Amino acid sequence: MLSGGAGVPAVRASEPERQEDAMPGKVLFILTSHGELGNTGRKTGFYLSELTHPLAVVREAGYDFDLASPKGGEPPMDGVKREDPVNAAFLDDPAMMARVRETIPLDKVDPKDYVAVHFVGGHGTMWDFPGNPEVARIAAGIYEAGGVVAAVCHGPSALVDVKLSDGSYLVAGKEVAAFTNEEEEAVGLTQVVPFLLESKLAERGAIITKAPKFQAKVAVSGRLVTGQNPASAKGVGEAMVKLLGAGVAAGS
Protein backbone atom coordinates (compact mmCIF):
# COMPACT_ATOMS: atom_id res chain seq x y z
CA MET A 1 0.00 0.00 0.00
CA LEU A 2 1.19 3.59 -0.64
CA SER A 3 2.29 5.54 2.37
CA GLY A 4 1.09 8.86 1.07
CA GLY A 5 4.47 10.37 1.82
CA ALA A 6 6.01 13.38 0.18
CA GLY A 7 6.64 13.20 -3.50
CA VAL A 8 3.92 10.64 -4.23
CA PRO A 9 1.25 12.11 -6.51
CA ALA A 10 -2.16 12.01 -4.90
CA VAL A 11 -3.71 10.39 -7.96
CA ARG A 12 -1.70 7.22 -7.34
CA ALA A 13 -3.53 6.59 -4.07
CA SER A 14 -6.37 5.13 -6.10
CA GLU A 15 -4.24 2.39 -7.65
CA PRO A 16 -4.46 -0.09 -4.74
CA GLU A 17 -8.22 0.48 -4.65
CA ARG A 18 -8.45 -0.42 -8.31
CA GLN A 19 -6.47 -3.59 -7.68
CA GLU A 20 -8.69 -4.54 -4.75
CA ASP A 21 -11.79 -3.96 -6.85
CA ALA A 22 -10.57 -6.17 -9.68
CA MET A 23 -12.83 -9.09 -10.52
CA PRO A 24 -11.63 -12.36 -8.98
CA GLY A 25 -11.89 -14.37 -12.19
CA LYS A 26 -14.17 -15.35 -15.03
CA VAL A 27 -16.79 -18.12 -15.17
CA LEU A 28 -17.83 -19.74 -18.44
CA PHE A 29 -21.49 -20.67 -18.93
CA ILE A 30 -22.08 -23.16 -21.75
CA LEU A 31 -25.50 -23.39 -23.42
CA THR A 32 -26.84 -25.95 -25.88
CA SER A 33 -27.18 -25.11 -29.57
CA HIS A 34 -29.73 -27.89 -30.12
CA GLY A 35 -33.35 -26.83 -30.52
CA GLU A 36 -35.28 -29.93 -31.58
CA LEU A 37 -36.80 -32.27 -28.98
CA GLY A 38 -36.03 -35.56 -30.70
CA ASN A 39 -38.75 -36.61 -33.12
CA THR A 40 -41.60 -34.96 -31.22
CA GLY A 41 -41.78 -31.87 -33.41
CA ARG A 42 -41.44 -29.78 -30.25
CA LYS A 43 -38.79 -27.19 -29.57
CA THR A 44 -36.24 -27.27 -26.79
CA GLY A 45 -32.99 -25.52 -25.93
CA PHE A 46 -31.25 -24.29 -22.80
CA TYR A 47 -33.52 -23.87 -19.77
CA LEU A 48 -33.54 -20.19 -18.90
CA SER A 49 -33.58 -20.32 -15.09
CA GLU A 50 -30.68 -22.77 -15.12
CA LEU A 51 -28.65 -19.92 -16.60
CA THR A 52 -30.16 -16.90 -14.87
CA HIS A 53 -30.16 -18.14 -11.28
CA PRO A 54 -26.53 -19.31 -11.02
CA LEU A 55 -25.41 -16.38 -13.17
CA ALA A 56 -27.02 -13.93 -10.75
CA VAL A 57 -25.15 -15.55 -7.85
CA VAL A 58 -21.84 -15.50 -9.72
CA ARG A 59 -22.21 -11.86 -10.74
CA GLU A 60 -23.23 -10.82 -7.23
CA ALA A 61 -20.01 -12.42 -5.96
CA GLY A 62 -17.99 -10.24 -8.33
CA TYR A 63 -17.06 -12.72 -11.05
CA ASP A 64 -17.01 -11.83 -14.72
CA PHE A 65 -18.56 -14.30 -17.15
CA ASP A 66 -18.77 -15.42 -20.76
CA LEU A 67 -21.53 -17.31 -22.55
CA ALA A 68 -20.60 -20.00 -25.06
CA SER A 69 -22.33 -22.72 -27.08
CA PRO A 70 -21.26 -25.49 -29.45
CA LYS A 71 -22.18 -23.51 -32.57
CA GLY A 72 -21.84 -19.99 -31.22
CA GLY A 73 -24.33 -17.24 -31.90
CA GLU A 74 -27.85 -17.29 -30.49
CA PRO A 75 -28.83 -20.58 -28.84
CA PRO A 76 -32.44 -21.78 -28.53
CA MET A 77 -34.10 -20.80 -25.24
CA ASP A 78 -36.61 -22.89 -23.32
CA GLY A 79 -38.41 -22.49 -20.00
CA VAL A 80 -39.10 -18.81 -20.54
CA LYS A 81 -41.12 -18.04 -17.42
CA ARG A 82 -41.38 -14.31 -16.84
CA GLU A 83 -43.17 -14.82 -13.51
CA ASP A 84 -39.72 -15.71 -12.22
CA PRO A 85 -38.28 -12.27 -11.33
CA VAL A 86 -34.70 -13.37 -12.00
CA ASN A 87 -35.71 -14.48 -15.49
CA ALA A 88 -37.67 -11.28 -16.08
CA ALA A 89 -34.74 -9.08 -15.05
CA PHE A 90 -32.46 -10.99 -17.41
CA LEU A 91 -34.88 -10.85 -20.33
CA ASP A 92 -35.43 -7.13 -19.83
CA ASP A 93 -31.69 -6.35 -19.75
CA PRO A 94 -30.54 -5.45 -23.29
CA ALA A 95 -26.90 -6.10 -22.42
CA MET A 96 -27.67 -9.60 -21.19
CA MET A 97 -29.77 -10.44 -24.23
CA ALA A 98 -26.98 -9.19 -26.48
CA ARG A 99 -24.62 -11.61 -24.74
CA VAL A 100 -27.07 -14.45 -25.42
CA ARG A 101 -27.29 -13.56 -29.10
CA GLU A 102 -23.50 -13.58 -29.41
CA THR A 103 -22.35 -16.69 -27.56
CA ILE A 104 -18.78 -17.78 -28.22
CA PRO A 105 -18.31 -20.94 -30.32
CA LEU A 106 -16.73 -23.63 -28.19
CA ASP A 107 -13.80 -24.06 -30.57
CA LYS A 108 -12.81 -20.46 -29.76
CA VAL A 109 -12.76 -21.01 -25.99
CA ASP A 110 -9.45 -21.18 -24.12
CA PRO A 111 -9.95 -23.02 -20.81
CA LYS A 112 -7.06 -21.08 -19.26
CA ASP A 113 -9.23 -17.95 -19.29
CA TYR A 114 -11.68 -19.34 -16.71
CA VAL A 115 -11.74 -20.35 -13.06
CA ALA A 116 -14.94 -22.34 -13.53
CA VAL A 117 -17.35 -23.67 -16.12
CA HIS A 118 -21.08 -24.22 -15.68
CA PHE A 119 -23.01 -26.42 -18.10
CA VAL A 120 -26.54 -25.03 -18.24
CA GLY A 121 -29.30 -27.61 -18.56
CA GLY A 122 -32.23 -28.00 -20.90
CA HIS A 123 -33.18 -31.07 -22.91
CA GLY A 124 -31.22 -29.82 -25.92
CA THR A 125 -27.98 -30.63 -24.13
CA MET A 126 -28.70 -34.34 -24.45
CA TRP A 127 -27.98 -34.11 -28.18
CA ASP A 128 -24.97 -31.80 -28.49
CA PHE A 129 -23.04 -32.05 -25.20
CA PRO A 130 -22.25 -35.81 -25.00
CA GLY A 131 -19.44 -36.91 -27.29
CA ASN A 132 -18.56 -33.30 -28.15
CA PRO A 133 -14.76 -33.02 -28.18
CA GLU A 134 -14.85 -29.29 -27.43
CA VAL A 135 -17.05 -29.84 -24.38
CA ALA A 136 -14.62 -32.49 -23.16
CA ARG A 137 -11.58 -30.31 -23.85
CA ILE A 138 -12.97 -27.37 -21.91
CA ALA A 139 -14.30 -29.37 -18.96
CA ALA A 140 -11.12 -31.40 -18.52
CA GLY A 141 -8.91 -28.37 -19.09
CA ILE A 142 -10.57 -26.25 -16.43
CA TYR A 143 -10.82 -29.13 -13.97
CA GLU A 144 -7.20 -30.24 -14.33
CA ALA A 145 -6.03 -26.65 -13.93
CA GLY A 146 -7.65 -26.62 -10.49
CA GLY A 147 -10.91 -24.97 -11.50
CA VAL A 148 -14.53 -25.78 -10.71
CA VAL A 149 -16.79 -27.76 -13.07
CA ALA A 150 -20.53 -27.36 -12.50
CA ALA A 151 -23.69 -28.53 -14.24
CA VAL A 152 -27.41 -28.62 -13.52
CA CYS A 153 -30.39 -30.75 -14.58
CA HIS A 154 -29.52 -32.10 -18.06
CA GLY A 155 -26.28 -30.09 -18.05
CA PRO A 156 -24.37 -33.08 -16.58
CA SER A 157 -24.86 -34.74 -19.98
CA ALA A 158 -21.71 -32.75 -20.80
CA LEU A 159 -19.78 -34.93 -18.38
CA VAL A 160 -20.69 -38.43 -19.55
CA ASP A 161 -17.74 -38.64 -21.96
CA VAL A 162 -15.22 -36.36 -20.24
CA LYS A 163 -11.99 -38.14 -19.41
CA LEU A 164 -9.03 -36.75 -17.49
CA SER A 165 -5.40 -37.08 -18.56
CA ASP A 166 -5.06 -40.35 -16.63
CA GLY A 167 -7.85 -41.89 -18.71
CA SER A 168 -10.45 -41.91 -15.94
CA TYR A 169 -13.91 -40.39 -16.31
CA LEU A 170 -14.22 -37.06 -14.53
CA VAL A 171 -17.37 -38.23 -12.74
CA ALA A 172 -15.97 -41.61 -11.65
CA GLY A 173 -16.16 -42.04 -7.88
CA LYS A 174 -17.77 -38.63 -7.37
CA GLU A 175 -21.23 -37.82 -6.05
CA VAL A 176 -23.34 -36.45 -8.87
CA ALA A 177 -26.86 -35.03 -9.01
CA ALA A 178 -28.67 -34.80 -12.35
CA PHE A 179 -32.14 -35.06 -13.87
CA THR A 180 -33.31 -38.45 -12.64
CA ASN A 181 -34.87 -41.34 -14.46
CA GLU A 182 -38.04 -40.74 -12.42
CA GLU A 183 -38.14 -37.10 -13.50
CA GLU A 184 -37.62 -38.04 -17.16
CA GLU A 185 -40.52 -40.46 -16.89
CA ALA A 186 -42.67 -37.82 -15.19
CA VAL A 187 -42.22 -35.41 -18.12
CA GLY A 188 -42.93 -38.19 -20.62
CA LEU A 189 -39.58 -38.13 -22.41
CA THR A 190 -38.01 -41.44 -21.46
CA GLN A 191 -38.42 -42.72 -25.01
CA VAL A 192 -37.42 -39.41 -26.61
CA VAL A 193 -34.02 -38.59 -25.11
CA PRO A 194 -31.00 -40.42 -26.57
CA PHE A 195 -30.29 -42.04 -23.19
CA LEU A 196 -31.29 -41.76 -19.55
CA LEU A 197 -28.87 -39.33 -17.96
CA GLU A 198 -28.90 -40.82 -14.46
CA SER A 199 -28.20 -44.29 -15.82
CA LYS A 200 -25.39 -43.13 -18.12
CA LEU A 201 -23.63 -41.22 -15.35
CA ALA A 202 -23.84 -44.28 -13.13
CA GLU A 203 -22.28 -46.34 -15.95
CA ARG A 204 -19.36 -43.91 -15.93
CA GLY A 205 -18.79 -44.55 -12.24
CA ALA A 206 -20.68 -41.60 -10.75
CA ILE A 207 -22.27 -42.04 -7.33
CA ILE A 208 -25.80 -40.81 -7.96
CA THR A 209 -27.40 -38.76 -5.21
CA LYS A 210 -30.94 -37.47 -5.57
CA ALA A 211 -33.99 -35.95 -3.95
CA PRO A 212 -37.65 -36.78 -4.67
CA LYS A 213 -38.87 -35.63 -8.08
CA PHE A 214 -38.40 -31.92 -8.83
CA GLN A 215 -37.07 -31.06 -5.38
CA ALA A 216 -33.76 -29.25 -5.03
CA LYS A 217 -30.60 -31.31 -4.71
CA VAL A 218 -27.02 -30.11 -5.07
CA ALA A 219 -24.00 -32.41 -4.88
CA VAL A 220 -20.50 -31.12 -4.18
CA SER A 221 -17.74 -33.63 -4.72
CA GLY A 222 -14.34 -31.99 -4.61
CA ARG A 223 -14.38 -29.39 -7.39
CA LEU A 224 -17.39 -30.90 -9.15
CA VAL A 225 -20.77 -29.27 -8.45
CA THR A 226 -23.97 -30.71 -9.87
CA GLY A 227 -27.68 -30.06 -9.43
CA GLN A 228 -30.67 -32.29 -10.08
CA ASN A 229 -33.22 -29.98 -11.69
CA PRO A 230 -34.28 -26.34 -12.17
CA ALA A 231 -35.00 -26.00 -8.44
CA SER A 232 -31.31 -26.71 -7.83
CA ALA A 233 -29.93 -23.98 -10.13
CA LYS A 234 -29.38 -21.24 -7.55
CA GLY A 235 -27.82 -23.74 -5.15
CA VAL A 236 -25.34 -24.80 -7.81
CA GLY A 237 -24.30 -21.18 -8.26
CA GLU A 238 -23.91 -20.74 -4.50
CA ALA A 239 -21.78 -23.89 -4.24
CA MET A 240 -19.57 -22.74 -7.12
CA VAL A 241 -18.96 -19.38 -5.49
CA LYS A 242 -18.22 -21.01 -2.15
CA LEU A 243 -15.60 -23.27 -3.70
CA LEU A 244 -14.04 -20.44 -5.67
CA GLY A 245 -13.94 -18.28 -2.57
CA ALA A 246 -12.11 -21.09 -0.77
CA GLY A 247 -9.36 -20.81 -3.36
CA VAL A 248 -9.78 -24.13 -5.13
CA ALA A 249 -9.09 -22.57 -8.51
CA ALA A 250 -5.68 -21.61 -7.22
CA GLY A 251 -4.98 -25.28 -6.62
CA SER A 252 -5.83 -25.52 -2.92
User: Is it the case that residue 19 has pLDDT exceeding 90?
Assistant: no
Return the SS3 of 113: helix
Among all residues, which ones are annotated catalytic?
Answer: 153-154, 184
Mean pLDDT, to the nearest integer, of 219-237?
98
How confident is the model at residue 13, as a pLDDT? Answer: 40
User: How do residues 2-13 score in pLDDT, each as one tens digit?
Assistant: 444 444 444 444
- Helix (H) or strand (E) holding 238, with range, is helix 233-245
CA 26, CA 59: separation in Å to the nearest integer?
10
Q: Which domains does the chain have, with CATH numbers?
A: 25-247 (3.40.50.880)
The residues, ordered by sequence, that sit 6+ positions from 248 with a Cβ below 8 Å of its Cβ are 146, 147, 148, 223
Q: Which DSSP symbol is given to 207?
A: E
User: How do residues 110-131 score in pLDDT, each as one tens digit?
Assistant: 999 999 999 999 999 999 999 9
Q: What are phi and psi of 246, to 5 degrees?
A: -80, -5
How many secondary structure helices (H) and strands (E) does the chain include?
9, 11
- Helix (H) or strand (E) holding 197, with range, is helix 197-203
What percent of the chain shows pLDDT beyond 90? 87
CA 181, CA 190: separation in Å to the nearest integer?
8
CA 122, CA 36: separation in Å to the nearest integer?
11
pLDDT band at 86; cut points 50, 70, 90: very high
User: Is it the case that residue 243 has pLDDT exceeding 70?
Assistant: yes
User: How do residues 189-208 score in pLDDT, each as one tens digit?
Assistant: 999 999 999 999 999 999 99
**Cα end-to-end distance, the chain, whole Å:** 26
User: How do residues 135-193 score in pLDDT, each as one tens digit?
Assistant: 999 999 999 999 999 999 999 999 999 999 999 999 999 999 999 999 999 999 999 99
How confident is the model at residue 22, as a pLDDT? Answer: 60
What percent of the chain shows pLDDT beyond 70? 88
